[in-house]
Amino acid sequence: MVILTLNCGSSSLKYQLYNWDKMETLAAGIVERVGLDGSFIKHEASGHDEVKIERECPTHKEAMDLLIESILNDEYGAIKDITEIKAVGHRVVHGAEKFAKSVIIDDEAMKTFRELEQLAPLHIPANLIGIECAKAVLPDVKHCAIMDTAWHQTMPEQAYIYALPYKWYENFGVRRYGFHGTSFLYTAKRAAALLGKDPFETNLVIAHIGNGASINAVKNGCSFDTSMGLTPLEGLVMGTRSGDIDPAIPFFIMDKTGMSAAEVETALNKESGVLGITEKWVDRRDIEIAAEEGNERAIVCQMIESYRIKKYIGAYSAAIGGPDAIVFTAGVGERGPITRKLALEGLEYMGIKIDDEKNKASMTRNAETCISTDDSTVKVFVIPTNEELVMTEDTYALLEGTYDVHTKYEYHFESCDYVNKEREAGLPKDLKKWKGLDKIIVTPPAAKEGCGCGNCCGNC
């Protein structure tokens, strides 16, 4: 069965085409600058080099057409006929309390998503456009919604209720929801496998650090608390988002400058974070270069971002009674050794000890690594996330009628003998590039050694 997954943003359309029967990715890519000048697609099919095609995509419809054209191309495509696609999985950022798990999209689900637009006005409209465009191109297959917020539905009231008038929660759903759920689900299950533990006997603090960033406290294998809140604005310092601030600041700025509420909201979401501090950069690699050259603003920015991460690691470690491991994932988390180092420095008293050389060597999306010292009582893992695989597996299970919430459903990648074929194929190139990488790759304990995870062959 071939499954297409779509992650539709306001100006982008990210996709993956997956062959479920062979457990391998057929193609993946992204259409960028949708609705803007200079739009293009980056597309890579298995066995082919990446291609970049420039074409104006004034709407997501043109982006979807370009996507389909690319996967069907005789030279660099992945399938012969569009009818090979049997289902489509869509990322939907916000499911509020309406959805505690992934669902097949019907008219009622679409109605509910539209009602939730105000909770994620920067994300849900784009998600809905993606669904509508995909349904127009693929009207005869099932379309499924995988909610970013669903993973966090296990949070207790003390974690998700704000100290605000309770009627705001009752009448308007104002509470902490959290995001990056598919990423946290994948990395939590993989961390448990690497530890050789039952997922529901595992405590973790997972840091998903990218342009969007959040931290998740995982207690006994379930989300216990998370840094993002009603919207994706709360929590860590991000690429262009402020994260935690004094809630009186917007009113103060509106009074001083005459800015409207909408203008302040835009500033907090699109003009703050590391961009706001540096007034120049969003890409952490640019900030690293500037910091190395002595740029004071870049240095301060690195310290602010990492300090916020450190505070959350400390707080969440206390909340769950101590973690078995700290996990870094997403773009900066996976390939940002300076951010990881600064975030963990000074936490030795908690049993968290990072090895500088191991940390520097962990610069790959093709392997799971351990960057803690041998005597660290808390492991520190870098686990490349795979949100598309979660979306694919949820979609397949929904079609088969086997899907349920993660506490009642076992994913294939939880297995100790799970192998990502694409990453396995890409690893040799990284091993040549990054000295010491071969020494820090970590794999789950083999079943024959009695790993105790309960997710492999059953012979533990």
- In which order are the strands placed within the sheet that holds 2-8? 51-54, 40-45, 24-32, 12-19, 2-8, 85-92, 142-147, 103-104
Catalytic residue chosen out of the listed positions 140, 148, 283, 404: 148
User: CA separation (Å) from 368 to 152, 221, 441?
Assistant: 24, 19, 6
Specify whether 148 is catalytic. Answer: yes
- In which order are the strands placed within the sheet that holds 222-226? 222-226, 213-219, 204-209, 325-329, 379-382, 369-370
Q: Which has the closest alpha carbon to 357: 384, 380, 332, 337?
A: 337
Contact between residue 377 and residue 435 where contact means Cβ atoms under 8 Å apart: no
- Residues carrying an active site annotation: 148
